[in-house]
Structure 1
Amino acid sequence: MNEKLQEAIELVNTGEVEKGLTIVKKLVKDADDEQKLQIAELYFKWGFLDEAKALFSKLLRLYPNEGLLYIYLAEIAIDQDQEEEAIQLLEKIKKDDPAYLQSLVLMADMFQMQGLDEAAEQKLLQAKKLAPNEAIIDLGLGQFYASIGEYNKAIPFFEKLIEVNAELENTNVNLLLAEAYVHTGRFEDALECYAEGLKEQIELNSLFNFGFVAYQLERYELAIAKWNEVKVLDPDYIPVYLYMAKAYEQIGSLKESYETAEEGLKHDPDYKELLVFAAKMAMKLEKHEKVEDYLKKAIAIDPGYIEALTLLGSYYLFHEEYDEVVSLYEQAIEMDEYDPQFEWDLAEAKKQLDRYKDALNHYESAYTSFKENIQFLRDFAYFLLELGDRKRAKEMFVRILELDPSNSDIEEELLRLEEW
């Protein structure tokens, strides 16, 4: 390579782009065709597409049968949103040209970007027929099928690449295969591929997914270990904290679970799902002063966050703060937020506040959603007894026995009602 051209490359690579480009522009004037190709490729690599296009076009006029030039010009056309021009260029490459296979793959990529999946598949299959053992074609087919959700079709292509130990630049086939295995429910196979793939290259999303698959297989210690690696590599990888906290909960390490949730909230105080999880752990650890704080923060972030609302409502009920229950839910309803659990909780709260008429209305509203819920039917039945409505209370008790014939307490209640 020309010494001046090498100097220009070093200048661009070290950030002195203008100086490097000045040298390149001077070199173009006296460059031979081979040097012009090198310069055009550098322009393309650096993103100076107009300059690259001008040089490639000049060379194409001199070498109209050189398929590689069509490839470069088509890639530039694609980058400049000129798909029709790209297709016209690629279709000019002859079948006996070494670049023909690459043209088929490039057309497949372009068709897929346009949503023409069937056309893309045909181009790739055509390439596969011409070069059945070409690794880049197997990779293209595997990635194509994975991208359209046909993972069972993708898997054999990825497996073949690993079997023949294909060398593919900037492609970790084990990680691609791991993702395909996950989507087809082959979790144990996915773990093996993640382990192999991450030996080649540490990739945060794949490392996180490795932990997630281990979690799904109830291998919680392994999940925690992998997620710890994620945290070390990137403490701001926020999703890891919630799932890691859940894993600790699964093995009974509530203190570590709560501390992990707190750690995550230091990095992202507005992570509403983590706020709710932290509240749950605080409840279990009897850190009562923290529960309300976490849940109120979650609701402030998302006033329609039903899980946070109902959890706070149940917290207030447990602590007999009935006015707070009513205030919480009625404010939510005014803001057009609603969940059937509101009705049940409001019924319980207003019953305790001696607002029986309102409580009855809430029980009636909740009945449709909870008529299969034994605890709800029990609460409603005893409330009806308080109101003196033995007939409807009996209906609730009968329904409970239909759901749970072995419930002896309810049988006794029915007997007492029959005696009255």
Structure 2
Amino acid sequence: MTKQWLYVIDEAIKRIENDELELGLQALKKVQKHGKDLPEVMLYLAEVWYRFGHLDEAESLIRDILQKHRELETSLKQEYQMLLAEIALDGNDFDTAQSILYDLKEAGEESIRLDLLLTDLYSMQGLDEVAIKYLEMARQKDPGNKEILTALGNMYFQIGKDEEAMQILEDAGGQSVDLLLSKARVLAQNGDFEQAYHLYRQASAHEQSAEVLYGCAMMAFHTGHIEEAAGYVGNLLALDEEYVAAYPLAADIYLSMGKTEKSIDALEQYVELSGFDLDQIRRLVALLTQAGRYEDAKTYQKLLDQWSTEETE
């Protein structure tokens, strides 16, 4: 029976992912109605509710199962509790999450998942030093886990310990995209644009994501490789035309190439997408005026005046 219900859940997931939302939700509700005597099935269902953003449904189901099945196997009960803590964290209910996680810790639970949830708990409250302590615990349990090492390196960056961060990322070994991006970010923040550009280009050989292309374009621009920067930003906007941050950068690049009209086009698209950015509208007005497009400049000046008035009210 357990396998049959798990199969129904998997089929419901496929329905939802294929935009057959109502059919998928009906199937999940059917499982919840008829499978409550199967805690393993209900745990999977709660995870699915959580994955699709139905946090109240997931929390209600978990609490119902924990109330109904008081003699759950310890490991299964702990899985329920950790999912409940995860839901609380998503709702910024730090007190509930902390209570659950501390109870698990006192009960002797020592899993990596628990350490990572405690990391999230303290990181979300801005307590980075405490968060790092739990992330270090997770690292001790799985020293070669690149995701943990990358997260730990990034947290050390956040508290200003760049050398420790870089060493941790080096200890991770290999050159995964996440590690390359982590190194590139801190180098860029420290003004070492050439080395950052080198790492972004290495990352681009493995992955042509928007973040990678944006980093390549930004560092190429800062290091004077303008043609390359234009190529990267063009590829980025072809990949994701709603990547808002790319448009001001594109405007900078095109302006440095003497392509005022392309710079204006980029800023117009940026204003249309971003809605509210007075600095970029001022810049657009100046470029339109410089280009002799006075009527267009007046249009954006009116928008600028309107938003400036609203901002001061």
What is the TM-score of this pair, normalised by structure 2?
Answer: 0.75
Q: Is the 8 A contact 2:181 2:203 kept in 1?
A: yes
In the alignment, what sits opposite 1:264? 266
Change in 2 beyond 3 A, CA 1:260/1:21:
closer
Contact kept? 2:46, 2:58, Cα under 8 Å: yes
User: What residue is the counterpart of 2:80 in the other structure?
Assistant: 69
Aligned equivalent of 2:52: 46
Task: After superposition, give the CA deviation of every residue in 1:168-201 in whole Å (9 maximum; x if it has no partner).
Answer: xxx8332233212211223222222212323443
- Does structure 1 residue 273 correspond to structure 2 residue 283? yes
Does structure 1 residue 21 correspond to structure 2 residue 25? yes
Alignment of 1:399-410 (within 5 A): none
Change in CA separation of 1:6 and 1:185 when aligned onto 2, cut-off 3 Å? same
Q: List per-residue Cα deviations over 1:8-61 (Å, max 9, x = no partner).
A: 223322333343333333334345333222222222222223332344342573
The aligned amino acid for 2:228 is: L
Query: Do the aligned residues in 1 keep the contact of 2:217 with 2:232 (CA within 8 Å)?
Result: yes
Residues 161-200 of structure 1: matches in 2 within 5 Å? 161=172, 163-164=173-174, 172-200=178-206
Look up the match of 1:143.
154
Letter in 1 for 2:264: E
Counterpart-to-counterpart distance in 1, 2:102 and 2:86: 13
Q: Which amino acid aligns with 1:85?
A: T
**Can you give the 5+ residue segments of structure 1 that lack an aligned partner in the other structure?**
283-288, 305-420
Greater C-alpha radius of gyration: 1
- Alignment match, 1:202: 208
Cα drift, residue 214 of structure 1: 1.2
Unaligned segments of structure 2, at least 5 residues? 273-279, 307-313
Post-superposition offset of 1:260:
1.0
Identity of aligned residues (%): 25
Q: How many residues align?
A: 289
Report the TM-score when normalising by structure 1.
Answer: 0.58
Matches within 5 A, 1:329-368: none
Quote the Cα distance in structure 1 between the aligned partners of 2:62 and 2:122.
24
Once the two structures are superposed, the pairs formed by residues 1-400 of structure 1 within 5 Å of their partners are: 1-2=3-4, 3-28=7-32, 29-30=34-35, 32-57=38-63, 58=65, 61=70, 62-66=72-76, 67-94=78-105, 100-161=111-172, 163-164=173-174, 172-235=178-241, 237=243, 240-250=246-256, 253-254=257-258, 257-267=259-269, 268=271, 271-280=281-290, 282=291, 289-290=292-293, 299-302=301-304
Deviations 1:339-392 (A, max 9, x none): xxxxxxxxxxxxxxxxxxxxxxxxxxxxxxxxxxxxxxxxxxxxxxxxxxxxxx
Answer yes or no: is the 8 Å Cα contact 1:276–1:294 preserved in 2: no
**CA gap 1:193/1:295 in 2 versus in 1, 3 angstroms:** same
Q: Could you tell me whether the CA contact under 8 Å between 1:105 and 1:140 is conserved in 2? A: no
The AA in structure 1 aligned to 2:215 is N
Q: For 1:54 and 1:265, locate their aligned partners in 2 and report how far apart those are by CA, in whole Å.
A: 48
Report which structure shows greater RCO (CA 8 Å, sep ≥6). Answer: 2
Does the aligned pair in 1 maintain the 2:251–2:264 contact within 8 Å?
A: no
CA distance in 1, matches of 2:88, 2:241: 40
Q: Note closer, same or farther for the CA distance 1:78–1:10 as it changes in structure 2 (3 Å cut).
A: same
* CA gap 1:7/1:295 in 2 versus in 1, 3 angstroms: closer
Structure 2 distance, partners of 1:279, 1:146, is 43
Deviation at 1:133, TM superposition (A): 3.2
Using the alignment, how far apart are the partners of 1:249 and 1:47 within structure 2?
Answer: 43
Amino acid at match of 1:40: A
Give the C-alpha shift of residue 82 in structure 1.
2.3
Please identify runs of 4+ aligned residues in structure 1 that moved more than 6 A.
95-98
Secondary structure of the corresponding residue to residue 172 of structure 1: helix
Paired letter, 2:94: E
How many Å apart are 1:115 and its aligned residue?
1.9
Provide the rounded CA distance (Å) in 2 between the counterparts of 1:246 and 1:6. 48
CA RMSD of aligned residues (A): 3.5
1:225 corresponds to which letter in structure 2?
A: G
Give me the whole-angstrom Cα distance separating, in 1, the residues matched to 2:82 and 2:18: 29
Shift of 1:160: 3.3
- In 1, the alpha carbon distance for the partners of 2:301 and 2:13 equals 55
